[in-house]
Amino acid sequence: MTRILVYRFSAFGDVAMTAPVFRELLEQNPNVEIVMVSRNNFKGLFANIPNLIFKGIDLDDYKGFLGLRRLSNDLIIEFQPDFIANLHDVIRTKIIDKIYRRKGFKVFKIKKGKEEKEKLTDIRNLDKVQLRRTVERYADVFREMGFKVELSHQLRSLSQKKSGIGFAPFAQHKGKMLPLEKSYELARLLAKKYKVYFFGGGSKETETLEKWEKEIPNTKSLSGKLSLEEELEKISQLELMISMDSANMHLASLMGTRCVSIWGATHPYAGFLGFGQSPDDVVQVKDLTCRPCSVFGDKECYRGDWACLEELDIQKIVEKVL
């Protein structure tokens, strides 16, 4: 059995995207075992994947160079890996890579395509093209090791009974999120025909969604009420998820649930469309030459009017659902 030590610490959606890649890698290479090192609270993302060991850590326990050296040594002692895979490639993991290389380990890391993503998000660049999908970039790391990985890009439904629509109206950055009044109206329209379940997290989101639940019949807020495992189980039972370009799209992919995704400042061209999700289920304002202006949606709108979200017609989302 060949053991691969893999690390990716954040963000939540990017970590979630590794799970379907691992599942198909391990199915195609039954002599491989993966040890996934990530944040403690991400454990539920990797449940029921054969030949995968999840090692949850608290990064606050391993601060600075000495902390990272201790983490590296602890992982070697516990798991004795054959290969190292860095699926993050940030300063913290670059330091860990260097420690492992000095110890004689073969270290492979993701090629993020930073320069091509900078070109894609240059508002003066009118020649926008589809970049390599992030899940393929993850798979490339293992291909470089010599393993065969052919991704299906197909959803796998994990539940026989499907009912209701999930709606996750929030995102980490403003550039990824529909104005709340549009999301409210969308929920109101959909709830006339479907049971709508709201997904969110944190006290402010929970407060907003509980208010919507009271005001819109046939809706229910699940925000702040479920563990990650319970949330994933509920998503697996939905007919459909509606999500911004955010983690809930990737959770839907993980559970084999179709997702209608909404994109503002970001764009599927950057490679972050959910695994197995159809480009036909993408909703976006197509005639803005400034899009995408950001890979992660964390930049201010250079026009100042957030047209990519303010001008998005929610009827286009309703049509995808109905």
SS3 at position 177? coil
Residue 165 pLDDT: 98
**H helix intervals, the chain:** 12-16, 18-28, 64-79, 91-102, 114-120, 134-145, 180-190, 203-215, 228-236, 247-254, 307-310, 314-321
The gap between the terminal CA atoms of the chain, to the nearest Å, is: 48
Is 263 domain-assigned? yes
What confidence tens digit (pLDDT) does each residue in 184-228 have? Answer: 999 999 999 999 999 999 999 999 999 999 999 999 999 999 999
Among residues 191, 168, 190, which one has the least CA distance to residue 180? 168
pLDDT of 11: 87
Q: Is 104 left (phi over 0), alpha (psi -120 to 50) or beta?
A: left
pLDDT tens-place string over residues 28-66? 999 999 999 999 999 999 998 999 999 999 999 999 999
Peptide bond into 247 cis (omega under 30): no
Please tell me whether residues 63 and 183 are part of one structural domain.
no
Domain boundary among 113, 145, 177: 145
Residue of 93, 92, 96, 59 whose CA lies nearest to 76: 96
Per-residue pLDDT tens for 221-261? 999 999 999 999 999 999 999 999 999 999 999 999 999 99
- Residues 179, 281, single domain; the answer is yes
Whether residues 73 and 173 share a domain: the answer is no
Task: Choose one of 116, 145, 174: the last residue of a domain.
Answer: 145
Q: Assess if residue 322 is contained within a domain.
A: no
Domain assignment of residue 7, given as a range = 2-145
Are 11 and 99 found together in one domain? yes
What pLDDT is recorded for position 97? 97
Choose one of 145, 173, 203: the last residue of a domain: 145
**Residues 264-313 pLDDT 10s:** 999 999 999 999 999 999 999 999 999 999 999 999 998 999 999 999 99
173 and 206 part of one domain: yes
Q: Is residue 157 part of a domain?
A: no
| pLDDT at 13 (0 to 100) | 94
Query: Does residue 44 lie within any of the structural domains?
Result: yes
Is 160 a member of any domain?
A: no
What global pTM score does this model have? 0.95
Position 160 scores a pLDDT of: 83
CATH code assigned at 192: 3.40.50.2000
Distance CA 177, CA 313 (A): 14
Q: Are residues 96 and 192 in the same domain?
A: no
Same-domain status, 290 and 206: yes
Same domain, 137 and 254: no
Please report whether residue 153 resides in a domain. no
Asked if the structure places residue 151 within a domain, the reply is no
| Token couple for 112 | 């993020």
| Shared domain check, 201 and 116 | no
Q: Are residues 112 and 190 in the same domain?
A: no
Is residue 156 assigned to a domain? no
Q: pLDDT by residue (tens digit) across 75-134?
A: 999 999 999 999 999 999 999 999 999 999 999 999 999 999 999 999 999 899 999 999
Our count of domains for the chain comes to 2
Q: Could you tell me how many residues make up the chain? A: 322
- The answer on 208 and 179 residing in a single domain is yes
Q: What are 33's two structure tokens?
A: 């075992």
Residues 11 and 121 occupy one common structural domain: yes
Q: What is the pLDDT of residue 101?
A: 97
CA 253 distance to own-chain centroid: 9
